[in-house]
Amino acid sequence: MKPLNIVLAGILLLIVSSCTRHADPAKVESLKLTKDDVRLFEMKIPSNWYIQTVGGELIVATSSGKDARRFLDFSAGTGGAKVELRALVMDSTRNIDTLLKNTKLIFEDSLDRYEVSDATLGGKPAKKLSVHFDQEDGEYKSETYFAQQDSVITMVQFAAFGKTFDALQSTFDEILASVKLARRAVELKPKVDTVLKPTGPEPPSDTLRPYSSGNFAIEIPQNFEAKKGQSSGISSVSFFGSRYDCAIQVDVFDASKQKNLDKIIEQNKGNYGGGKATATTLGGQKAFYFSYNPKANIASRAYFTVKGDKMFRITMNWYTPEQSIYLPIFEKCLSKMTMQ
């Protein structure tokens, strides 16, 4: 059973494994109440987890920074848990029904494994979206709640890998009970003699620094880090900053048995919604890329090119409300990439 979605970004290649496998549950030392001053939502989160906030939009806590990446690309790992709250303003195309649909992963066999039920969130009637399926380290399970107030939808998600969701259930229940729903934005007035400082994730630096591996060279924002990941191919490296949903990932595969890029594109287009690939160049090589939206407010491109006996897949993901910040810099990074 494999859902189609490589990173909140590409195609989630989920590995079927024994249901008896499980990991150790993420440790929760204590819960702390986190409040938003713009839309006035709040929620308790584990104090010892990796925490990110965006004013008026987001609170997310994962059991570690490494686990934050796993919830994007469903890469191999051991355990990990996430708690997330998003505030989403309703418009002509965004309501609870469309969010229920867009939040679902798409599986290769096209079966819908999700269950929708009635629930309560922040004292308001809500919808609950539940799913579970196997991964290499055990069952993945998530529960996502949607409720509306003041034309703003609050989405709260709990998720865990490694068959650890049930062990965290009492913690998730306490967090759920602490939620206050998002409201219309509140205009913040600065205090006299107070200097306002930027809050939230740091944008990518305009200054690039070189990164080189045995297979490729690229320049990345100076404030980004590079992390090697497990790969079914030759190698995999991810580059990311403080926004966990904005990243570049380079995967290298053996192409000794299939070097025809046109055939590779044809074989892969079904994984990206079946749309037509856009022709381009990458490192002086003929290339193509697919554009797709793996989830709400996230846009992605998956580039493919071949050099020698290697096939390169470069996946870019960015938060669409900040596209003007991330996309030009990411495109600049790729313009300086060379394959070796």
Rounded CA separation 83/62 (Å): 6
Rounded CA separation 278/314 (Å): 14
Q: Is residue 23 part of a domain?
A: no
Kindly report whether the global pTM for this prediction surpasses the value 0.85: no
Give pLDDT, residue 293.
87
DSSP structure class, residue 38 = S
Task: Tell whether 150 and 231 lie within a shared domain.
Answer: no
Please give the residue range of the domain that contains residue 135: 31-177
Give pLDDT, residue 54.
85
Task: Tell whether 171 and 212 lie within a shared domain.
Answer: no
Number of domains in the chain: 2
Task: Tell whether 66 and 111 lie within a shared domain.
Answer: yes
Give pLDDT, residue 17.
41
> Where residue 166 sits, what CATH number does that domain have?
3.40.1000.10
Q: Is residue 59 part of a domain?
A: yes
Give pLDDT, residue 190.
54
Give pLDDT, residue 75.
81
Compute CA distances 18 → 80, 122, 177, whole Å: 18, 37, 33
Q: Is residue 201 part of a domain?
A: no
Task: Tell whether 71 and 150 lie within a shared domain.
Answer: yes
Residues 57-105: pLDDT tens digits?
A: 899 999 998 888 788 778 888 999 999 999 998 888 889 999 998 888 8
Task: Tell whether 160 and 222 lie within a shared domain.
Answer: no
Task: Tell whether 120 and 171 lie within a shared domain.
Answer: yes
Closest CA to 81 of 61, 52, 95: 61
Give pLDDT, residue 10.
34
Closest CA to 232 of 76, 16, 26: 76
Give pLDDT, residue 201.
73
Task: Detail the DSSP E strand segments found in 106-165.
Answer: 115-121, 124-135, 138-149, 152-160
Residues pairing with 50 in the sheet? 62
Task: Tell whether 169 and 69 lie within a shared domain.
Answer: yes
Task: Tell whether 153 and 255 lie within a shared domain.
Answer: no
Cβ atoms of residues 164 and 25 within 8 Å: yes
Q: Which residues of the chain have pLDDT under 50?
A: 1-2, 4-18, 193-199
Q: Is residue 3 part of a domain?
A: no
Task: Tell whether 236 and 313 lie within a shared domain.
Answer: yes
Cβ atoms of residues 249 and 73 within 8 Å: yes
Rounded CA separation 114/104 (Å): 8
Give pLDDT, residue 6.
34
Give pLDDT, residue 86.
93
Q: Is residue 165 part of a domain?
A: yes
